[in-house]
Amino acid sequence: MPATFNSVNPRTATALASFDEAGPADVAAAVEAAERAFHEPALRDRDARAALLRGAAGRLRAAGDEIVEVAGGETGLPEARLRSELERTAGQLEAFAAVLDAGDYVEAIIDTPDPDAEPIPRPDVRRMLVPIGPVAVFGASNFPLAFSTAGGDTASALAAGCPVVVKGHPSHPGTGELVAREVRAAAGDAGLPDGTFAHLLAAGVAVGEALVDAPAIAAVGFTGSTAGGRAIADRAARRPVPIPVYAEMGSINPIVVTDAALAARAQEIADGLVASVSNFGGQLCTKPGVVLVPSGEAGDAFVHAVAAQLDRVEPTVLLNERLRDALRAAVERLAEQPDVRRLGAAPAFGGEGYRHQPAAYEAPAAAAAPGSALLEEHFGPVVLLLRYGSRDELLAALARFEGQLTGSIHAQPDDDAELLGLVGDLLAARAGRVVYDGFPTGVAVTHGMHHGGPYPATSTPAHTSVGMTAIRRFLRPVAWQNAPAPVLPPELQDGNPLGIWRRVDGELTKDG
Amino acid sequence: MPATFNSVNPRTATALASFDEAGPADVAAAVEAAERAFHEPALRDRDARAALLRGAAGRLRAAGDEIVEVAGGETGLPEARLRSELERTAGQLEAFAAVLDAGDYVEAIIDTPDPDAEPIPRPDVRRMLVPIGPVAVFGASNFPLAFSTAGGDTASALAAGCPVVVKGHPSHPGTGELVAREVRAAAGDAGLPDGTFAHLLAAGVAVGEALVDAPAIAAVGFTGSTAGGRAIADRAARRPVPIPVYAEMGSINPIVVTDAALAARAQEIADGLVASVSNFGGQLCTKPGVVLVPSGEAGDAFVHAVAAQLDRVEPTVLLNERLRDALRAAVERLAEQPDVRRLGAAPAFGGEGYRHQPAAYEAPAAAAAPGSALLEEHFGPVVLLLRYGSRDELLAALARFEGQLTGSIHAQPDDDAELLGLVGDLLAARAGRVVYDGFPTGVAVTHGMHHGGPYPATSTPAHTSVGMTAIRRFLRPVAWQNAPAPVLPPELQDGNPLGIWRRVDGELTKDG
């Protein structure tokens, strides 16, 4: 009899349904089916993959009421957020289908031969990207739909032509099973083999470890904590055949506020910050964890306004007990630091479920050193307001930050242009996305969106987990040299039968 | 007084010049200067970088006589090869300068805002690739110019805007110093800071280890053995901040010959194979190590012709004593295998210098199992001819090969199309380049060339070390969200002042 675990309603800390733990045999069977599917011609048909993605989107929307209800029970997230997240998830699947339609994600390059080239003759070389192989995806707790079973990693891997084996997050197993049911059905509708998609549930780490170790797995997508992502990346690096791990991990998402910005719109910035810190329990990878605020009266008024507004936010339900406990411990470490003080006066939450009182802390910017509790990620509705007394203090503090998903600047056109340039450079040097006069939460799914950044924000700073270029993670190039026409994939054939953009002798063209 | 080591003439096994070993202080100084240079605006100027690359190319050509003479003494490679390699090296530097002129290597993407987008409003998002940081390059022994001090890794990293610290190969230190002198001078001519390029010499591994460990190093380029590349990749993965290692390592570059191809042009294939195996002592990453030849009379005649031709090749000088000893040991392991027999009758070389007699070995295809001595790389003028008796034996043998840089097929239009399709798929599934009716040596530097492949051919199958897309290894994306026009890099400005190809709302365009 397999081991079981329960889902839990975080609003009430009571058990919901029971689920069977996957075991080693389930991992082996899923990976073997994925490997078989990878080598079948069906999965190489981009129209079939587009049909799978569009079919999954349609099916998720059709099953929306059921999914949102179960997800609401398992995550405590409000219905409006889950409906929006479901639409985002469906839209993301469709956006990758459109990438397949356009077809130029294969980055086709054709170099025509030149027998007279020096120092050696140039052959006919045609190169495109092909799928890397079966992909393991680790779903995140905080986005039960958009970064989970059928989230961005799954969508981009399937679009690339890679079968996917998901290790569903144990914090929302029922949601995962419903979503997996729809994706499997969509694969069947599209004529794709069973091994195209699998979903494994387990509360322990053994299933995930077995998945990372499985020889047929060619890459891993992960969204979660720095400790979790690093453990998986380390494990994958130790394999006899190491594989890439695309882990999106921790970030404190610093925000810089200038004196001029405070003078012009302190209240607007405070309102936006409070929402960005506390919405959905602050459990977002792009939640602002640290804000650099000027010393002085305007700054004092700003930080007190932020703290007072956070005091008035109802203690938000967190995703699960583990996250709540980890947040509590991290906040205690923060509060113990000699230079840190708590702002505001709301009491800690003492009632039912896993909740935490939104809160602001304050410290001098000079106290924020690498490795200190001040620069730890607090995954919840908590923000640290770092006060800087001078331009040099601001720049020095920014230079001490590690890799980030985002960095933001609130400034005014009449701010010192040189200073803004330096701040922008410091943020771009350590973050994947630089946001002006806004907040980093609410990551739009667009062609150019970059949701990544230098370590420890991710394990692979050259890649993104959101946006259309996320497909690049699951592809590798192959070049064909002097290949006879019949063996060439359509993307590389002379006549350009798919009508895609290609680089021919260095020039981008759709010509045949 | 620093430790010293000597370069050695491999033709005579006699010492040449003496060189000082770099020490920890040299590593620290080079990395610190590289980090400073990385943050200076000069290196962000793509025209200055193009000038550096073109200047280095011109200077290398101008110093060609001196470089070729020293390289000939240190490597034993013939003058004509070194002159060709010098031209290739210069051409490669110029080709990356042309990539900078075209400018679209930054993969600029602009998504215009849409306040009405569902489920959340879409901001203005502009994304491009930026340099990843200072890069460490480990030069290869077998290409003292094209894969060494100013080789493809250095050229692509400098083009990307990354300062480079080269750990020069101790097998050709004098060559490396001459080349480094020219690159440094070209950097000065282009107005770039001293830290743009550094060259460290050492016979031991401590300098390389210190370089990989240095916190400011953001990526590593390496060409060499699987053991060496894996050790560096493992070390980089253990850093507090892991960094990518782009290691191009071992490959046995299988070739498939069909019955029909033998019937049509056995002599031509034998001539090409002998040259590809024995040119430059067979010390090429793409040297064919294993050839699948049909059983039967035509195959027998072919393998004996190959062996007889290899017997007549003069024992070629190898690059150094370590390579010669490693080759001898690997060939002894091969010859000891119960199913393997030596073809031909040339005696082992017993004279002056580090040489090895070109030779062919034969075994049944069924004997080639993963991990066996038959599928080890023999880095020298040695080839194993694997005989297959049936289509199934051929396909089964191919399926047992690990990741490769290349796979080649010699076939005829009247061969079984289905079989050719299966062979092509098996090769493309485990190799970075599939060559038809030719030989994998002589890697052309073109836009689409892919010199990479699944592990153990490389540590990162998604990347190439030859061809224009090699620049992608040293770049990472940054997205700017709602940025005011003045802070945007020119590549992302509304008017497209550089006139580069960009993806705007999903469509490639040069429009402003």
Q: Taking 70 as the threshold, does the pLDDT of residue A100 lie above it?
A: yes
Residue A265: Cβ within 10 Å count = 16
Q: Calculate what percentage of chain B has a pLDDT beyond 70.
A: 100
Sequential pLDDT tens for chain B (512 residues): 679 999 999 999 999 999 999 999 999 999 999 999 999 999 999 999 999 999 999 999 999 999 999 999 999 999 999 999 999 999 999 999 999 999 999 999 999 999 998 778 899 999 999 999 999 999 999 999 999 999 999 999 999 999 999 999 999 999 999 999 999 999 999 999 999 999 999 999 999 999 999 999 999 999 999 999 999 999 999 999 999 999 999 899 999 999 999 999 999 999 999 999 999 999 999 999 999 999 999 999 999 999 999 999 999 899 999 999 999 999 999 999 999 999 998 888 778 899 999 999 999 999 998 888 999 999 999 999 999 999 999 999 999 999 999 999 999 999 999 999 999 999 999 999 999 999 999 999 999 999 999 999 999 999 999 999 999 999 999 999 999 999 999 999 999 999 999 999 999 999 98
B interface mutation test: which of A248, A400, A481, A508 has the most B CBs within 10 A? Answer: A481
pLDDT tens string B370-429: 888 999 999 999 999 999 999 999 999 999 999 999 999 999 999 999 999 999 999 999
The token duo for A122 is 């140039």
pLDDT of res. B448 = 94
Residue type, B424: G
Check whether the bond before A413 is cis (ω within 30° of 0): no
Helix ranges restricted to H, A279-340: 297-312, 321-336
Give the pLDDT confidence score for residue B135 in this predicted structure.
98
The strand pair at B507-509 and B502-504 is best described as antiparallel
* Residue B98 to chain A, least CA–CA distance (Å): 10
Distance in angstroms (rounded) separating the CA atoms of residues B257 and B293: 5
**CA–CA distance, B42 with A446 (Å, rounded to integer):** 32
Interchain contact, A431 vs B478, CB within 8 Å: yes
Q: CA-nearest residue of chain A to B461? A: A476
Please give the Cα distance from A374 to A379 (Å, whole number): 13
Chain B hits for A231, Cβ within 8 Å: none
Residue of A nearest to B409 (CA): A483
Q: Give the A window 77-106 contacts with B, CB below 8 Å.
A: 83-85, 87-88, 91, 98, 102, 104
DSSP label at B310?
Answer: H
* Angstrom distance (rounded) from CA A209 to CA A349: 36
Residues B409, B427 contacting (CB under 8 angstroms):
yes
Catalytic residue among A162, A182, A285, A362: A285
- Tokens representing residue A133 in the block: 């192989």
Tokens 């998986």 found at: A232
What's the pLDDT tens digit per position in A175-219? 999 999 999 999 999 999 999 999 999 999 999 999 999 999 999
Sign of CA dihedral B458, B459, B460, B464: negative
Q: Best mutation site among A40, A487, A488 for testing chain B: the one with the most B CBs within 10 Å? A: A487
* Interface contact A442-B120, CB threshold 8 A: yes
- What would the DSSP string read from start to end of A46-67? HHHHHHHHHHHHHHHHHTHHHH
From the CB of residue B406, how many other CB atoms can be counted at a distance below 10 Å?
29
Contact B361, B341 (CB under 8 A): yes
Q: Which of A413, A456, A481 sits opposite B435 (nearest CB)?
A: A481
Q: How confident is the model at residue A120 (pLDDT cuts 50, 70, 90)?
A: confident
B486 by DSSP, 3-state: which?
helix
Residue A2 — very low, low, confident or very high, per pLDDT cuts 50/70/90?
confident
Q: How far apart are CA A159 and CA A93, in angstroms?
A: 9
CA distance A96 to chain B (A): 12
CB B132 within 8 A of CB B207: no
Shortest distance between the Cα of A1 and any Cα of chain B, in A, equals 37
CA distances (Å), origin A9, targets A17, A19, A355, A494, A500: 10, 14, 12, 58, 49
B450, B505, B507, best to mutate vs chain A, most A CBs in 10 Å: B450
Residue B47 buriedness (CB in 10 A; 0-12 / 13-18 / 19+): exposed
Closest CA to A324 of A379, A253, A383, A287: A379
Count CA atoms within 13 Å of residue A3 on its CB side. Answer: 12
Using CB atoms and an 8 Å cut-off, which of residues 201-240 of chain A contact chain B? Answer: 233-234, 237-238
Give the residue on A whose Cα is nearest the Cα of B457: A241
Cα–Cα separations (whole angstroms), residue A115 to A119, A123, A281, B346, B433: 11, 7, 65, 36, 20
- A450·B478 Cβ contact <8 A: yes
Contact of B118 with chain A, judged by CB distance below 8 Å, is answered with yes
pLDDT tens digits along A423-453: 999 999 999 999 999 999 999 999 999 999 9
Q: Is the dihedral of CA B87, B88, B94, B95 positive or negative?
A: positive
Q: What ipTM does this complex have?
A: 0.97
Q: Which of A35, A248, A362, A393 is catalytic?
A: A248
- Against a cut of 0.90, is the pTM above it? yes
Locate the chain B residue with the closest alpha carbon to A450: B479
* Average pLDDT across chain A, whole number: 96
- For residues B311 and B277, the answer to whether their CB atoms sit within 8 Å is no
Distance from CA of B470 to the nearest CA of A (A): 11
Cα separations (Å) of B320 from A40, A208, B10? 47, 46, 6
C-alpha A380/C-alpha A278 separation (Å) is 7
**Preferred mutation among B39, B83, B85, B127 to probe A, highest tally of A CBs within 10 A:** B127
Q: How far is A20 from chain B (nearest CA, A)?
A: 34
Q: At what angle do helices B79-102 and B152-160 cross, to 10 degrees?
A: 20
pLDDT value of position A477: 98
pLDDT for A202:
96
B477 shares contact with chain A (CB less than 8 Å): yes
Q: Which pLDDT score, from 0 to 100, does residue A498 have?
A: 96
Which A residues, 439 through 468, put their C-beta within 8 Å of a C-beta on chain B? 442, 444, 446-450, 452, 454-456, 459-462, 464, 467-468
User: Tokens at residue A229, please?
Assistant: 């992502």
- For residues A247 and A495, give the distance between their C-alpha atoms in angstroms, rounded to a whole number: 39
The Cβ of residue B483 has, within 10 Å, a number of other Cβ atoms equal to: 21
Helix (H) or strand (E) holding A183: helix A173-189
Is pLDDT at A37 greater than 80 in this prediction? yes
In A, which residues are within 8 Å of B130 by CB distance?
428
pLDDT at B373: 92
Q: What is the pLDDT of residue B316?
A: 86
Which pairing describes strands A341-342 and A502-504: parallel, antiparallel, or unpaired? unpaired
Would you call A162 a catalytic residue per the annotation? no
Q: Which residues of A touch B132 (CB under 8 A)?
A: 461-462
> Confidence class of residue A349 from pLDDT cuts 50, 70 and 90?
confident
At residue A1, the pLDDT reads: 67
Among partner residues A462, A475, A477, which is closest to B452 by beta-carbon distance?
A477
| Distance, CA of A455 to CA of A431 (rounded, Å) | 9
